[in-house]
Amino acid sequence: MKAAKTAFLAGAMVLSTGFATNWAVTVTETPAGHLIGNPDAEIKLAEYVSYTCSHCAEFARSGDPVLKLVYVRSGKVSVEIRHMLRDPIDLTAAMLTHCGAPDKFAQNHSIFMLKQNEWFPIAVNSTPAQQQRWSVPDRAAAHRAIASDLDFYEIMETRGYQRSEVDRCLADSAKETKLIQASRADSERLGIRGTPSFTINDRLLDGVHRWQELQIALDERTKPAPADGQ
């Protein structure tokens, strides 16, 4: 009887631990981005975003928290963040979100989106001399100039990064090439023309660019099937 009771309690603990898993804090690096959630989720959502896109920043504020809490946390939905690179600023920000271990990505991504209203006006009002520095052939120097002019170093410092670590990430030419190639391939393969855009199980959701629209699409796929006879 005691052994049976012990086995029962052990089984209950396993079940409890399984139900308590918070998939929203699980991050896996992928060939083209980072996946947040259960890698084996039935519904695989992908966000195609640009850091210089105001609509993407709005989605990060209004949609991402609900998406993770309601849909990703349970393990039924995963979300992969993939980059649509529109300009050198986008590329620099994307390289910094990838800086460090994969489990740092989600917060790196969020902080660049949530602080967009602070750094993007600086970019809009940049001088011709600044823009010239951002386009020099030495790509690492160009990324450093962008990071300096737009206060990216200060943003990364709030995430616990030293300047030397940031510079190493900005000089990662292999990562730069990988991000550029993935962005181009996704744009051509899916015909993406605006951001944010979304796919579910690798199928583009036409006309879906806001959280309200995406939520409807997710609810259609996650609601329980009706019981027989109903």
Residue 230 has pLDDT above 90, yes or no: no
pTM of the model: 0.87
Mean pLDDT within 180-185: 96
Using pLDDT thresholds of 50, 70 and 90, give the confidence band for residue 11: very low
**pLDDT, tens digit, for every residue of 20-30?**
589 999 999 99
Mean pLDDT within 121-145: 97
pLDDT at 226: 59
Contact by Cβ (8 Å): 83, 182: yes
What are the structural domains, with CATH classification, of the chain?
23-222 (3.40.30.10)
Residue 4 has pLDDT above 50, yes or no: no
CA terminus-to-terminus distance, the chain: 44
Residue 227 has pLDDT above 90, yes or no: no
Tell me what the pLDDT averaged over the chain comes to: 90
Residue 154 has pLDDT above 60, yes or no: yes
Closest CA to 31 of 75, 91, 93, 81: 81
- Looking at the chain, the whole-number percentage of residues with pLDDT higher than 70 is 88
Separation CA 195–CA 83 (nearest Å): 10
For residue 10, CA distances in Å to 18, 19, 20, 156 come to: 12, 14, 15, 44
- Looking at the chain, the whole-number percentage of residues with pLDDT higher than 90 is 85
Separation CA 176–CA 119 (nearest Å): 21
User: How many Å separate Cα 88 from the centre of its chain?
Assistant: 18
pLDDT at 5: 40
**pLDDT, tens digit, for every residue of 209-224?**
999 999 999 999 987 7
3-state DSSP call for residue 101?
A: coil
